[in-house]
Structure 1
Amino acid sequence: MVKKVTVADTALEASFRVAELIAKKMKPHTTGEEIIGPACIIIVETMLGKEAQEQISKVPLSNNTISRRISEMSTDINEEVVKQIKSKRKFALQVDESTDIAGKCQLLGFCKFIDKDIVGQFMFCKELQTTTTGEDIFASVNSYLTEHGLSWNYCCGICTDDAPSMIGKYKGFITRALKENPSITTTHCFLHREALVAKTCGEELTEILNQAVKMVNLIKSRPLQNRVFQKMYQEMGANLISLILHTDIRWLSRERVLNRVLELKEELKAFFREERHDIFIKLLENHTWCLKLSYLADIFMKLNELNLSMQGRLEGIVTSVNKMKGSQRKLKSWKSAVQRDDVSNFPSLQQAGYNGFGTVKNLILNHLEQLREAVDKYFPSLSTEKLEWIVSPFELADMAEELDFTEIERDEFLDMSADSTLKVKFEKSDVTLAAFWHAALGEYPNLGQKAISLLLPFSTSYLCEQAFSAMATIKSKQRNRLLSLEDDVRVALSTLRPDIKSFCSKHQSQVSH
């Protein structure tokens, strides 16, 4: 017998849909009443009639109701994630902490596991009540794993920002985690390390950057000055909207700030003449200074491109290492080109012309060498030799004796390297490495598990950084009294959809009075 769908049933489901929409909202203080408010009801009545308006008005939308709906969906999503991890037996962790708008420390965790292909999912958002030591972080993560029946033995990798609380020798989070499972692979976030490389400028170039930033901040930090400058460059026919304010915490802002200064150089000179800032006028009229600024804009652009290329939900060790190795080779190539007076790799510098290039050539060569040394310093082990058998399993059969295998794994590797069916699957362009090794698990379980354990670890803390942005939107100045963020953040960030039909079947349908 088919159940008759009533107005109450549709109103109940609608309230869950609204709650999900609020959790994924763009506006920081949206409520259910704002989404389906008087104006919306009037529009529905006008477009669809009185009956539709009456049904919409019966959707339960109080704050407490929406909060319960979000909590139920969060619990459902979390249970599904835990269920998938338990069925796959292997997962990698990404952990980071930050302070929210109310000054509370929030610890975020994401996991990665293989379900036909690599899947990244939100795990938890826990408030650290007092201190934020490695022991506090470990206790919070361990509590979550224990509560949901997950073992540290399932964990094959942990990625952090390498803060002292994370890597402390005696009481750091990673140190405690390694005591639970010594085989865990630990990774310092590639994005953080690349940002440290980008800060390697030397005194002279750092001074150039600081002088350009002072010019911009002199205008941008004063509303009157900013309005005057906007009026001036609009009258001069400039198409750009405005200068860009630079802040150290925004790693990728330097390139855009410097490029904007170069593009508005004439307008800036006119403004500083009118305001009588002689120091800045001399700098902008100094061709050598402008050449240095052009080079800085170009090199920051290239470093930003590298940083952005490593940002992604499922970025892995293999791809990140390959990108950093490629950047090492490019630095060497750029240096050789500059030695030949070839600056085609640096478009802004090339546009500035070769006049006076000799005065900055040695400075550029030294900086490129400093960057190469910085990559060696912050990425001391840029090698995928231990992963070559994963990337090219059918080409290394003759080297099986030299690979780090147990006897069982070596036998499976030799058998697999002769498996023509798997070779055809491996050579398909639409099959990822993770998907291939997941498919190989059935026939070659030991080798497959080893490959998955090496492929799973995160190379960046990108998901945590992305979650901090969502957290800032959810817990804003208008909502700074939220007691718990976990449910809202989980529903907002998880790629899993809650089973709303199942929720509705467990509730008694009631409409608003």
Structure 2
Amino acid sequence: MSAGPRKKLKTYHFHPEWEEEYFFVMSHSKVICLICKASVTLPKKANVERHYRSVHKAYDSDFPPSSELRKRKVRELKSQLAGQQSLFLKPTSTAKAANEASLRVSHVIIKHKKSFQDGEMVKEAFVEAADALFRDYTNKTEIVNAIKAVQLSRSTVTRRCEVMAKDLTQQLRKDIEDCECFSLQLDESTDVSDTAQLCVFIRMVFTDMTAKEELLTILPMKEHTRGEDIFRTFKNFVDNTKLPMSKLSSITTDGAPAMVGRCNGFIAKCREDDTFPDFLNYHCIIHQHALCAKMLNMKEVMDVSLKVACSIRARPLQRRLFRAYLEDADCVHTDLLLHTDVRWLSRGNFLQRFRVLLPEIKEFLHGTKLAEYARLDDEEWLLDLAFLTDITHMLNELNLELQGKDRTVVDMISSVNAFKRRLHLLCSKLQRKDLANFKNIASELEKQGKDSALLDSVRYTEQVNNITSDFEKRFRDFALLEPIATFMCYPFSEDHDIDSLAQNIGAVFHLNPSALEDEMLSLQADIQLKARAHAGQFWNLFRVEKYPNVRKCATSLTSLFGSTYLCESAFSQMKIVKSKYRSQLTDEHLEACLRLAISSYCPDYATLTDSIQCKSSEYGRDPPKYIELCFAALYQDHGERFLTLLVFMCFLTGK
């Protein structure tokens, strides 16, 4: 026997006129009597009328219906009810404010890469400052108590770090789902505990052609760091997080064998896996630039300079004496720098400082038996030092220009091309003995009392040519993008060879060349787009239905990473977060701290505060007040039934 149709439940609504007629109001989804604070089950007229007629019928004689006296009484009772409710809600709102303050302060602590236990120090400083700042305020005690109620213990800051990092991860995943395509950059380094950390950044491009760069993850590698190990670690992350790899455009690495090995490198393993689409891969422009800088065949200059500098810096007594000597001589600099290959800019800075302090170095080392000391008076060696200082300074300028967040591939290619042209110009100037761009060489010739016409510029021209040829050889991958980037920046030029461009774009981004040709020709003839070519967000004006392939090319080009600068920068942050004083920091907390320190997202403090239990450090030390807080929250949900119990509790505790 089948069951009959279910009877539709009737919905009842509270009517505002019942306030004056029956002294009832709707509060927190409950129908409450203003006189006795009792509540009825359903907002039915029969229920409220029955309660009023059976319990408060005398009110009709004391406060006649429709009279001004009755209206005034209703307003008075509503005001009393609001006051009672605010009394119960105040502890909850105070605790929520304390929790939000705890979240915000914890975020500041982690963003500045401080230890979790520094929260207690911040709170102590805050209380001491408040004691002086609010000394003459009448509500000073209330302010200080509010500060003391903020939880900032080590364990609390740790929990705040976890929940805020989880919130930022959720925001990132939502953006990944919303973006049209993304690119990745990967690099690997070891932390202070010798654990290899694989850092992955993502650059997302959205439908409005805006781009966002964020830390995707940092993955610990406990054992080997071969290409297959890197691939396995990253593949597990992709599977666990369900990262939509169909949107992947390119992967940029540092060019290490484990990353780009032909058979067992990370890139090769990715191409073999069906999860990964056809993607581009690039060797970091900054790494390639650093390799080009090593083409300078001036080892003797660096060896002598380092030997002399280390003879002073390596011995504490010598260093102290040299600094005292520089201070007595009233020099601009008071110490020497040291060079390390890991830091890209250190060689140029080291050489410049060494050359500036060379007279003081010679005077300080006068009479020593250092074998390299004699070279400091060799005029040819000094000219080589001046040339190396000048050329490394130019390379450093390019390096700094390539660094930074939100640097597009188009900008980086433009910077490299400009530098290659500058190198060609330098060669021609050296051949003419024009030293306008070589200030250190000109200064050294002036010290030696020689004219620039006597300079042997052939060997210096050869060094510049070696760098130029290496630049041409190493940046071939990015050279393929140059005509594409030129077209995308201004597609309406008559000089574009549409046929070859379509073939090039199709090969690079795996698009149909024939369809691309049609769209590119239509684009060049589009009068409306041509009129708005110089407007901001030009590619945002394109309709996907009309230009699907050209727009796909534009989004893919916008998403490309040109370098692994973000990974290198993150490793610098990692060295501060996980220092020798915090070497026991777990991998999960390291990732959470890095995400909060680097991310451009801001935690949703309001939502996180609502999800945290309303409890503050003040209530933890004062159990009766904490019990009041719990019953206040229960009163919001259950009303009158808990009022008597709460009053009894306050009576017992004397509150």
Given the two structures, how large is their TM-score scaled by the length of structure 1?
Answer: 0.93
Match of 1:31 in 2: 118
Deviation, 1:186, is 0.3
Deviation, 1:182, is 5.0
CA distance in 1, matches of 2:325, 2:220: 49
- Structure 2 residue identity aligned to 1:97: E
Aligned residues: 504
Match of 1:490 in 2: 595
Q: Does 1:309 align with 2:401?
A: yes
Q: Does 1:297 align with 2:384?
A: no
Q: Does 1:70 align with 2:161?
A: yes
Contact 1:133 1:165 survives alignment (8 Å): yes
Contact 1:109 1:123 survives alignment (8 Å): yes
* Residue of structure 1 aligned with 2:127, choices 41, 54, 64: 41
- Structure 2 residue identity aligned to 1:223: P
Contact 2:487 2:496 survives alignment (8 Å): no
- Residue 425 to residue 45, structure 1, CA distance change in 2 (3 Å): farther
Select between 337-346 and 356-365 the one with higher mean Cα deviation: 356-365
Where in structure 2 are the equivalents of 1:275-294 lying within 5 Å? Answer: 276-277=368-369, 279-294=371-386
1:347-392 C-alpha deviation (Å, 9 max, x unpaired): 1111222627646422211111111122123223434123332122
CA distance in 2, matches of 1:142, 1:248: 32
* Residue of structure 2 aligned with 1:392, choices 490, 501, 511: 490
Match of 1:322 in 2: 414
CA distance in 1, matches of 2:165, 2:522: 44
CA distance in 2, matches of 1:378, 1:408: 32
Deviation, 1:400, is 3.0
Contact 1:160 1:188 survives alignment (8 Å): yes
Deviation, 1:441, is 4.9
Q: What SS does structure 1 have at the residue aligned with 2:216?
A: strand
Deviation, 1:476, is 0.6
Contact 2:185 2:251 survives alignment (8 Å): yes
Contact 2:214 2:600 survives alignment (8 Å): yes
* Residue of structure 1 aligned with 2:174, choices 83, 92, 102: 83
Deviation, 1:110, is 0.4
- Structure 2 residue identity aligned to 1:507: I
- Residue 77 to residue 397, structure 1, CA distance change in 2 (3 Å): farther
* Residue of structure 2 aligned with 1:452, choices 555, 560, 569: 555
Deviation, 1:13, is 0.4
- Structure 1 residue identity aligned to 2:280: T
- Structure 2 residue identity aligned to 1:166: M
Match of 1:236 in 2: 329
Select between 39-48 and 247-256 the one with higher mean Cα deviation: 39-48
Contact 1:29 1:474 survives alignment (8 Å): no
Q: What SS does structure 1 have at the residue aligned with 2:464?
A: helix
* Residue of structure 2 aligned with 1:477, choices 556, 559, 580: 580
Deviation, 1:26, is 4.8
- Residue 28 to residue 231, structure 1, CA distance change in 2 (3 Å): farther
CA distance in 2, matches of 1:192, 1:56: 49
- Aligned-CA RMSD value: 2.1
Q: Does 1:20 align with 2:107?
A: yes
Deviation, 1:455, is 2.8
CA distance in 2, matches of 1:277, 1:394: 70
Select between 206-215 and 372-381 the one with higher mean Cα deviation: 372-381
CA distance in 1, matches of 2:116, 2:167: 24
1:273-313 C-alpha deviation (Å, 9 max, x unpaired): 15x14544422222221111111111000001111111121
- Residue 30 to residue 311, structure 1, CA distance change in 2 (3 Å): farther
Select between 68-77 and 465-474 the one with higher mean Cα deviation: 68-77
Contact 1:288 1:359 survives alignment (8 Å): no
Match of 1:172 in 2: 265
Contact 1:156 1:184 survives alignment (8 Å): yes
Where in structure 2 are the equivalents of 1:418-429 lying within 5 Å? Answer: 418-428=525-535
Given the two structures, how large is their TM-score scaled by the length of structure 2?
Answer: 0.73
Where in structure 2 are the equivalents of 1:502-513 lying within 5 Å? Answer: 502-512=607-617, 513=620
Match of 2:313 in 1: 220
* Residue of structure 1 aligned with 2:605, choices 479, 500, 508: 500
Contact 1:441 1:447 survives alignment (8 Å): no
Match of 2:474 in 1: 378
Select between 5-14 and 188-197 the one with higher mean Cα deviation: 5-14
Deviation, 1:254, is 1.0
Match of 1:361 in 2: 457
CA distance in 1, matches of 2:218, 2:234: 10
CA distance in 1, matches of 2:573, 2:290: 22
Q: What SS does structure 2 have at the residue aligned with 1:107?
A: strand
Q: What SS does structure 2 have at the residue aligned with 1:103?
A: coil
Contact 2:292 2:470 survives alignment (8 Å): yes
CA distance in 2, matches of 1:192, 1:327: 16
Q: What SS does structure 1 have at the residue aligned with 2:218?
A: strand
Larger RCO: 1 or 2 (CA < 8 Å, sep 6+): 1
Contact 2:200 2:216 survives alignment (8 Å): yes
Contact 1:287 1:356 survives alignment (8 Å): no
Q: What SS does structure 2 have at the residue aligned with 1:426?
A: coil
Deviation, 1:106, is 0.6
Q: What SS does structure 2 have at the residue aligned with 1:6?
A: helix
Match of 2:352 in 1: 259
Match of 2:190 in 1: 99
CA distance in 2, matches of 1:417, 1:177: 37
CA distance in 1, matches of 2:484, 2:93: 61
Task: Structure 1 unaligned segments of length 5 or more: list them.
Answer: none
Contact 1:114 1:438 survives alignment (8 Å): no
* Residue of structure 1 aligned with 2:148, choices 35, 42, 57: 57
Task: Structure 2 unaligned segments of length 5 or more: list them.
Answer: 1-27, 29-85, 135-139, 507-511, 621-655
Contact 1:389 1:396 survives alignment (8 Å): no
CA distance in 2, matches of 1:397, 1:256: 43
CA distance in 2, matches of 1:218, 1:287: 22
Select between 157-166 and 45-54 the one with higher mean Cα deviation: 45-54
Match of 1:144 in 2: 237
